[in-house]
Structure 1
């Protein structure tokens, strides 16, 4: 069963907004589904220390793809704020993407 994640997405939005100098978290992960483009989301997750895998047919550039979900953010190495507890532990999240033409 697929679960939608809200708290970790807020964390991703905050990091992406800080990294890209956006005025609000909504600007970093706005768009359909509230996640934004795939490249920005992947960059933000990797900056947090996550290993990122893609679900969906990737068409490059990924900035032209939208994120439809993020899976794998509920495990024993992620705290209630959605951040890694032990950054040395390999933790994978899966980003569901939808790309035009792919």
Structure 2
């Protein structure tokens, strides 16, 4: 069901965490600002250095993009200084540090 773009929302941002077998948080991601209808600003994608190189960031971003609450979001944006290649795999386009994904 597609939500009406003009419908306002005050819902809090969604945070997703995943834990390593030792229960030490190894990664997290959340849309910092979103109306859950049209726009989401992706922030705080974190994979601890000792956990990198195992596809955790890819799985986390994919899970967020596929999350049922986020399926209607058609415009995604984020800022990164070093992870352009990660987001380009999902269709984000780079403009300097700023990246944008438009999906219909």
TM-score, normalised via structure 2 length: 0.27
Work out which structure has the larger RCO, using CA pairs closer than 8 Å and 6 or more positions apart in sequence. Answer: 1
Between Structure 1 and Structure 2, the one with more strand by share is 2
Q: Which has the larger radius of gyration?
A: 2
